[in-house]
Amino acid sequence: MSAIEPPLGLLAELTHRCPLRCPYCSNPLELARAAAELDTATWARVFGEAAALGVLQVHLSGGEPTARRDLPELVRHAAGAGLYTNLITAGVLLDASKLAALAEAGLDHVQLSVQDAEAGNADRIGGYAGGHARKLAVARLVRDAGLPLTLNAVVHRQNLDRLPELIDLALELGAGRIEVAHVQYYGWALANRAALLPGRAQLEAATATVEAARERLKGRLVIDYVVPDYYAKRPKACMGGWGRVVLAVSPEGRILPCHAAESLPGMEFPNVRDTSLRAAWERADAFTRFRGTAWMPEPCRSCDRRENDWGGCRCQAFALTGDAAATDPACSLSPHHALLDLAVAEAAGGAETFTYREIGRAPRRSALPP
């Protein structure tokens, strides 16, 4: 067996607790409770194992990672292990003294999410009154603490028309980068798909906005943007390919090739409580099953793009076809591609109201779109 390249990044999902209730949240439908979370010492060990495996960056995520009181200690352990530390946060629980403690512990970067550029709609989408104003204040505190800032704007039908304002907001807040991230439709987002999928004309306008802004803001703001799967001809290399670039650890310690992988049935994920990250990465079935190209069905198996997109997203393939080993329906060569056109047509007359994310209140499976 040829040597397996080490992962570059670790997504550390420290908790599923979050004061916001975004209807597109990428956390699983069954959310972990606080009592089941890994403790500080276990996370410290995990960061050491990650660094020894070759990981360079840790993304401290959730849920809302700042809901953990031991976050400065966790940052200190991760930085002490030599990892570049990126905090992915909704921001509303932060203040100047907490940010100072995180910076002092060795935090390298903050990625702050915003739900919209318009406060009322942002608070409605996040299900948290006053959240948007709080985020703007926190963004300024991040810059005051001397930390680099990325704005993370998750976009969909109900905020995409304000993309120009979101880009202006990133500039105004002193962010060096904005990630314009289209919703990925599994989990909570799949339950809300009819309320979130943008229309084609809306998407084309957004893509033109990004192209013009990239030209205008060269050297001032980096804009990350990828056309969403439901309108693409070919899928993205989800997570850079299964078990190739990134691994994730859930709040309860499950070691995952992707934060959404728990949605796949019939898979057993090792746990950091009894398996090392190295053993999981190199040998666990959860990592080897869809790594590389040997598992692929046709048309991927004989396709010359198979080592570019690695067959797309397994979670999306399962969510739409019921088969995790199918070609991602986002690919126009997939026999299931028409499912995406149906979803777009359904969303055109779709609902505006959301099923908000809540711990202990997963939407019924029968309520999810087929």
By CB under 6 A, name the binding residues for ligand SF4.
Answer: 18, 20-22, 25, 27, 62-64, 90, 113, 234-235, 299-300, 303, 305-306, 309, 311-312, 327-328, 331, 333, 357
Query: Which residues 6+ apart lie within 8 Å of 204 measured at CB?
Result: none
Do residues 55 and 280 touch, judged by C-beta distance below 8 A? no
Whichever of 51 and 170 has its CB closer to ligand SF4, that residue is 170
SS3 291: coil
Give backbone dihedrals phi and psi of 51, rounded to 5 degrees, phi first. -65, -40
Whichever of 85 and 327 has its CB closer to ligand SF4, that residue is 327
Do residues 234 and 309 touch, judged by C-beta distance below 8 A? yes
Nearest approach, Cβ of residue 249 and ligand SF4 (Å):
16
Whichever of 63 and 270 has its CB closer to ligand SF4, that residue is 63
Q: Which two tokens stand for residue 180?
A: 């314009």
Q: Tell me if the bond preceding 65 is cis, omega within 30° of 0.
A: no
Whichever of 37 and 64 has its CB closer to ligand SF4, that residue is 64
| Run of H or E including 102 | helix 96-105
Nearest approach, Cβ of residue 355 and ligand SF4 (Å):
12
Query: Which residues 6+ apart lie within 8 Å of 12 measured at CB?
Result: 43, 46, 47, 58, 59, 60, 61, 65, 74, 78, 248, 249
Q: How far is Cα 347 from Cα 342, in angstroms, rounded to an integer? A: 9
Nearest approach, Cβ of residue 230 and ligand SF4 (Å):
15
Pairing of strands 177-182, 222-225: parallel
Nearest approach, Cβ of residue 357 and ligand SF4 (Å):
5
Whichever of 116 and 309 has its CB closer to ligand SF4, that residue is 309
Do residues 187 and 263 touch, judged by C-beta distance below 8 A? yes
Whichever of 213 and 232 has its CB closer to ligand SF4, that residue is 232
Do residues 146 and 39 touch, judged by C-beta distance below 8 A? no
Q: How far is Cα 76 from Cα 70, in angstroms, rounded to an integer? A: 10
Nearest approach, Cβ of residue 24 and ligand SF4 (Å):
7
Whichever of 284 and 303 has its CB closer to ligand SF4, that residue is 303
SS3 49: helix
Nearest approach, Cβ of residue 48 and ligand SF4 (Å):
26
Whichever of 283 and 336 has its CB closer to ligand SF4, that residue is 336
Q: How far is Cα 114 from Cα 20, in angstroms, rounded to an integer? A: 11
Q: How far is Cα 370 from Cα 259, in angstroms, rounded to an integer? A: 22
Counting every residue written for the chain, the total comes to: 370
Do residues 188 and 179 touch, judged by C-beta distance below 8 A? no
Q: How far is Cα 38 from Cα 253, in angstroms, rounded to an integer? A: 6
Whichever of 49 and 64 has its CB closer to ligand SF4, that residue is 64
